[in-house]
Structure 1
Amino acid sequence: MLQNNRLGGIPAEALWELPGLQSLRLDANLISLVPDRSFEGLTSLRHLWLDDNALTEIPVRALSHLRALQAVTLALNRIGRVPDYAFWNLSSLVVLHLHNNRIRHLGAHSFEGLQNLETLDLNCNQLHEFPLAIQTLGRLQELGFHNNNIRAIPEKAFLGNPLLQTIHFYDNPIQFVGRSLNGATDIQEFPDLRGTTSLESLTLTRAGLQRLPPGMCQQLPRLRVLELSHNRIEGLPSLRGCQKLEEIGLQHNRIWEVRADTFRELTFLRSLDLSWNAIRSIHPEAFSTLRSLVKLDLTGNQLSVLPLAGLGGLVHLKLRGNRALSQAFPKDSFPRLRTLEVPYAYQCCAYSGCPGFFTASGLRGPQHPPPDAQDPPRRTLADRAESRYDLDPEELQLEMEEPRPQPAVQCSPAPGPFKPCEHLFESWGVRLAVWAVVLLALLCNVLVLLSLSVAGPGPLPPAKFVVGALAGANALTGLSCGLLASVDALTFGQFAEFGARWEGGPGHVAWLTFADGLLYCPVAFLSLASALGLLPVTPEAVKAVLLLVLPLPACLNPLLYLLFSPHSREDLRRLRPCWGGPREPSSCDSTQALVAFPDVELTAEASETHGLPSGALVPRQQPGGLKLEGGHVAEPEGTRFGQQPPSRDGGRAQGTPEASPAGQGRASGGGFQSSGLASGV
């Protein structure tokens, strides 16, 4: 055990007296040179670690003395080439690690003599050509040469490796393969794997593959794991011949369709990852024969319908990102399900304990798995031991333990107050209050708009225009609330069945757009209070505020205007001719009267205090009324505020003093006359 020291070399004859040594660790040192006779006396050595040193070449002569050696690692050094016959005397060697070096060249006979080699690791080097030297390794089972600069895979590259089970050659800039496979000059189809009938695991990612050959499974009949993610594959051939496949990874490709024969008769397939493709359609029978499938990932596709045939044994199902997929997934369709990810929260209602949600049979009732789901097929321990691909603990428990009560399904996104399962309005109090707000808002605002519409010909005065605009906006708010109330009534008790269509439809978008512009103080207060932790605000409280407090101005504004504004009563009297009643003359213009009489008096007092010029009060046609004349507020002739007007026969009212000269004429100044106002106070 000499690892993690600062050894700069191995002194000759230092280890000669250890003929029984079987394991020697010299890794993590600074060894740059291994003398030829360093291992001459180690006749029983089986495992040798020389990784993480400063070697620049293979110690060929030193290794030739280790005929019993079974595993050697020369990784993490600075080796630049592997010469011919570098390991010629290591006939017992089983594992050879050469990864993370600087190897650019391999001789055609570099691995000559390694009759029993099963694992060869050439990953993370600087190879520019495919290592043809592997053709002499007749017992090779695992080969790795990923993260190199290999651009071509020649014809019959693996013809001399009939026992090869695992190949890793991803992250290479592969541009073409041998014509014996597809007649192409670029990497559009699968590489030539003839002679690899024992291959069990194949990983080929980020290689730019566009197609898979139709006869791929004839070359790989024992394949169990196929990882082809992050390529450009658009279409899938039939994988019917790969009947031992257990795991398929095709995520991050360009697949747009899954045909009926693509995965037919893959009875051992347990995991299928088709996420982040462009799949628009899946044949109804595409999964019907996948009896062992427990994981299906279709995240980030463009599905509108998911066929359920053959998916009864699923444990994990992922469907996020399929915005057009709004179908319901009944609980009794997936009796063994543990994890479910769907596009909309409403699709989780069947798994969230909603007591009244519909099952697949259309009958309401408690959610229990069907009888046949309580006795799922289980594999024996011997079968489990043969599998090299472990499952989650939940799946292992599901397969090997006795049947037990089904745990709750973890479904996301979970329903909540803003994405309910049964009722859009979950409380009768909220429901009745919303209907009251809707009726008052529509009735009062329509009444205000009608009263303003018969005000007379010509454009509306600015004040009335503002009142009309507010009434129109409030009416639209009431109409929006009425739309929500109508949806609640039409989907009463079954909102989850329509929730996905409602959320993705134009009505919901319109409501969101309208509501975003009407987030008043209560909503802002509750949001800030919840964010700052000042008040424990629940989603139910926020929902009640949005449904009740937010649209309250829509009905309160016109109601207060109709009840407490004297001008509204005058405008309403104008509607009487339209309803068949006599029309009474108006004593004052309601637009001008928006500024009340006391305001005029206060204005006059202010002018007197600050020395403003006074103005005469000019009489109006009707007695006792004010009028605008020449830009001045006028008073009837011979009168002042607080005095009786003269009678029609020219006399004065009894008990009325003589009008002062200041009150009879018109001043030229254009201001209010202080004496006239003073006598009326």
Structure 2
Amino acid sequence: MIDLEHNNIRKIKTKQVSNVKAEQLLLNYNDLQVVEEAAFAGSEIANLSFKGNYRLKYLHRRAFHGLQSLRFIDLSSTAITFLPTEGLREIDTLKLQNTKSLKVFPSVFNYQFLKEAWLTYPYHCCAFKFPWTHNRGEYEKHSRFIEQLHEACDSRNSTIGHVFKPYDDPSLEALFHFMPLNASLAINDEDNEIWGDRNEVFHNTTSASFPVTTALCGEIYRNYHEVKCHPAPDAFNPCEDLMGNWGLRIPVWIVALSACAGNLFVVLVIATSRFRLTVSKFLMCNLAAADLCIGLHLLLIAAVDACSIGAYFNYAIDWQEGVTLSFYEEFEILKSAVLFLTSPIFNHGSSSKN
């Protein structure tokens, strides 16, 4: 174990931690701000921890390029806004607790062997339950890759081996690390043959000028539902849409539009009336204005739901922590206070007339 905690390290430059072999490297609670490209190139580190580097904001997208044997990484309590995928594809444990700056989680298809994830937002765990909804582009790429694997496996039934070029479609290049989990490949440079775990031989007959990968038939699917993700979504942070279903969505729109139109009409009528503004009319106008605010708030929620149908958890973090919702929350508090103070006066005036 290499312990470099509390050492006031501010920057890790390219290849500054190279050719290091360690079971664990601790860089916790330093003053790290920058990790450059290929900072750990050539190293073999199983556990890597950056916990407590509160000013670590710039993490190069290829910061872990060339790092081998990594199985555990902890980026908790940092200020990163982007999580690299290169170099992290084979990790089985990921920790990103108390990292509120990271609002966008990468596609789960970038983590083939992940077993456990400790994240900041419950909505990020929805990515493991609904990978298609979370990132449809990556899902479609992965689906095309699976289709190519199936074609290769089908062709193998009639030939000794099937060698194909996945890079005919450049969009598949980033996904071609997905190989059968039960396959073990070894390349013999002397006779240019590829051996599988069932003593099957696949002869490489393709020109060396093209990238070539041999697919072994077997279990080629990864069930991301089995990944243990924390904190799990709950009733207050669901993966489902805001309204849940159309049986609720349609009445909400009707109520919101009716509240806005009706109360706006009352406010305009009283405000433009030629008659003297009495106390009762003023209180009635105040009540209508308060109800109008409720209608506008409900209309805003309905609009957000309409814009995020089927993928609310992808927008939930920005929505809940955004400026718009904060403004409306403060506005609602002010409206409720005014309504609470003026309602007794309105009720007292009505009782006096009776």
CA contact (8 A) 1:328 1:497 kept: no
| Candidates 270, 287, 299, aligned match of 2:46 | 270
1:480–1:487: structure 2 CA closer, same or farther, 3 Å change rule?
same
- Across the aligned residues of Structure 1 and Structure 2, the Cα RMSD in angstroms comes to 3.5
CA distance in 1, matches of 2:180, 2:284: 66
Verify: 1:350 aligned to 2:168, yes or no: no
Residue 456 of structure 1: how far off its partner (Å): 1.8
**Aligned position for 1:539:** none
Q: How does 1:471-510 map to 2 (within 5 A)?
A: 471-510=288-327
Residue 374 of structure 1: how far off its partner (Å): 1.5
**Aligned position for 1:423:** 241
1:593–1:420: structure 2 CA closer, same or farther, 3 Å change rule?
closer
Residue 595 of structure 1: how far off its partner (Å): 5.7
1:356–1:304: structure 2 CA closer, same or farther, 3 Å change rule?
closer
Q: How does 1:453-602 map to 2 (within 5 A)?
A: 453-456=271-274, 460-513=277-330, 599=354
Amino acid in structure 1 at the alignment position of 2:48? L
CA distance in 2, matches of 1:364, 1:414: 27
**Aligned position for 1:236:** 12
**Aligned position for 1:411:** 229
1:431–1:313: structure 2 CA closer, same or farther, 3 Å change rule?
same
CA contact (8 A) 1:448 1:468 kept: yes
**Aligned position for 2:188:** none
CA distance in 1, matches of 2:142, 2:313: 16
Residue 593 of structure 1: how far off its partner (Å): 9.1
User: What do residues 341-363 of structure 1 show as CA deviations (whole Å, max 9, x unaligned)?
Assistant: 22322221121357744345253
User: What do residues 398-448 of structure 1 show as CA deviations (whole Å, max 9, x unaligned)?
Assistant: xxxx99975711112222333333522112222122112101211210121
More helix by percentage? 2
User: What do residues 553-596 of structure 1 show as CA deviations (whole Å, max 9, x unaligned)?
Assistant: 9xxx9xxxxxxxxxxxxxxxxxxxxxxxxxxxxxxxxxx99865
Verify: 1:451 aligned to 2:228, yes or no: no
Any idea what SS the aligned residue of 2:270 has? helix
1:377–1:256: structure 2 CA closer, same or farther, 3 Å change rule?
farther
User: What do residues 153-179 of structure 1 show as CA deviations (whole Å, max 9, x unaligned)?
Assistant: xxxxxxxxxxxxxxxxxxxxxxxxxxx
Amino acid in structure 2 at the alignment position of 1:430? L
Verify: 1:440 aligned to 2:258, yes or no: yes
Amino acid in structure 2 at the alignment position of 1:425? M
CA distance in 1, matches of 2:118, 2:3: 23
CA contact (8 A) 2:18 2:41 kept: no
CA contact (8 A) 2:260 2:295 kept: yes
Identical pairs, percent:
26
Any idea what SS the aligned residue of 2:21 has? coil
Residue 240 of structure 1: how far off its partner (Å): 4.1
**Aligned position for 1:338:** 115
User: What do residues 222-263 of structure 1 show as CA deviations (whole Å, max 9, x unaligned)?
Assistant: xxx211213322233544444323310011111111112421
Q: How does 1:114-129 map to 2 (within 5 A)?
A: none
CA contact (8 A) 1:350 1:359 kept: no
Kindly indicate whether structure 1 or structure 2 has the higher relative contact order, using CA contacts under 8 Å at least 6 residues apart: 2
Q: Which runs of 5+ in 1 are unaligned?
A: 1-224, 379-401, 520-552, 558-591, 600-681
Residue 339 of structure 1: how far off its partner (Å): 1.3
CA contact (8 A) 1:345 1:413 kept: yes
Verify: 1:288 aligned to 2:106, yes or no: no
CA distance in 1, matches of 2:134, 2:121: 16
1:376–1:334: structure 2 CA closer, same or farther, 3 Å change rule?
farther
Amino acid in structure 1 at the alignment position of 2:2? L
CA distance in 2, matches of 1:444, 1:474: 9
CA contact (8 A) 1:287 1:310 kept: yes
Residue 337 of structure 1: how far off its partner (Å): 0.6
User: What do residues 86-137 of structure 1 show as CA deviations (whole Å, max 9, x unaligned)?
Assistant: xxxxxxxxxxxxxxxxxxxxxxxxxxxxxxxxxxxxxxxxxxxxxxxxxxxx
1:505–1:377: structure 2 CA closer, same or farther, 3 Å change rule?
farther
CA contact (8 A) 1:438 1:482 kept: yes
Which structure has the bigger radius of gyration?
1
1:462–1:516: structure 2 CA closer, same or farther, 3 Å change rule?
closer
| Candidates 92, 100, 104, aligned match of 1:323 | 100
1:347–1:240: structure 2 CA closer, same or farther, 3 Å change rule?
same
**Aligned position for 1:12:** none
**Aligned position for 1:144:** none
1:508–1:416: structure 2 CA closer, same or farther, 3 Å change rule?
farther
Residue 509 of structure 1: how far off its partner (Å): 2.2
1:313–1:251: structure 2 CA closer, same or farther, 3 Å change rule?
same
1:512–1:419: structure 2 CA closer, same or farther, 3 Å change rule?
farther
CA distance in 1, matches of 2:261, 2:93: 53
Any idea what SS the aligned residue of 1:230 has? coil
Q: How does 1:364-375 map to 2 (within 5 A)?
A: 371-372=178-179, 374-375=181-182
**Aligned position for 1:13:** none
Q: How does 1:201-220 map to 2 (within 5 A)?
A: none
Amino acid in structure 1 at the alignment position of 2:234? G
CA distance in 2, matches of 1:330, 1:241: 28
CA contact (8 A) 2:266 2:285 kept: yes
CA distance in 2, matches of 1:251, 1:293: 17
| Candidates 212, 226, 251, aligned match of 2:2 | 226
Any idea what SS the aligned residue of 1:303 has? coil
Query: Which shows bigger deviation, 279-288 or 226-235?
Result: 226-235
CA distance in 2, matches of 1:270, 1:500: 32
Q: How does 1:160-239 map to 2 (within 5 A)?
A: 225-236=1-12, 238-239=15-16
Any idea what SS the aligned residue of 1:245 has? strand
Alignment TM-score, normalising by the size of structure 1: 0.37
CA contact (8 A) 1:304 1:325 kept: yes
Q: How many residues align?
A: 278
User: What do residues 610-652 of structure 1 show as CA deviations (whole Å, max 9, x unaligned)?
Assistant: xxxxxxxxxxxxxxxxxxxxxxxxxxxxxxxxxxxxxxxxxxx
Q: Which runs of 5+ in 2 are unaligned?
A: 147-174, 186-218, 344-348
CA distance in 2, matches of 1:322, 1:593: 54
